[in-house]
Amino acid sequence: MKKTSKLVYWTPRVLSILFICFLAMFSLDVIQPGLSFGQILIGLIMHNIPVFILIAILTIAWRKEIVGAIGFIGAGLLYIGFMTFNLVNGWPWSRVLISILVIAGPAFLVGILFFMNWRNRKNNIS
């Protein structure tokens, strides 16, 4: 495997792991004094549902890059949809825009990199 081929192969995988860890970090706000272990556990599970979905997508995308491309781009579009709903409900533009750039931006980047990897692999087979 060429050096650029290895880079194209590993970059979306490493970035998706970092992105998933970044999203999981947001669930730590559930841990507060006065809550029982069960309440904290349920809160962590609820907050990490998107993380679990992205882990499943990454697991499949490790071998089938097109799943990663569709999954991560779809996750970014879904997040933009949720943030548009929040915008309609009175959130300020600046908060919505920053949230979209911080969450949907990396998801799109990872999805595009998986797509490039898939296309590169598809072209090498033909």
Low-confidence ranges of the chain (pLDDT < 50): none
pLDDT of residue 2: 74
Closest CA to 50 of 84, 86, 85, 16: 16
CB contact burial 11-20 (16+ within 10 A = b; e otherwise):
bbbebbeebb
Question: Is pTM, for the whole model, over 0.85?
Answer: yes
pLDDT of residue 1: 60
Residues in the chain: 126
Segments making up each domain of the chain, as ranges: 3-125
Between CA 44 and CA 30 the distance in angstroms is 7
Between CA 100 and CA 28 the distance in angstroms is 20
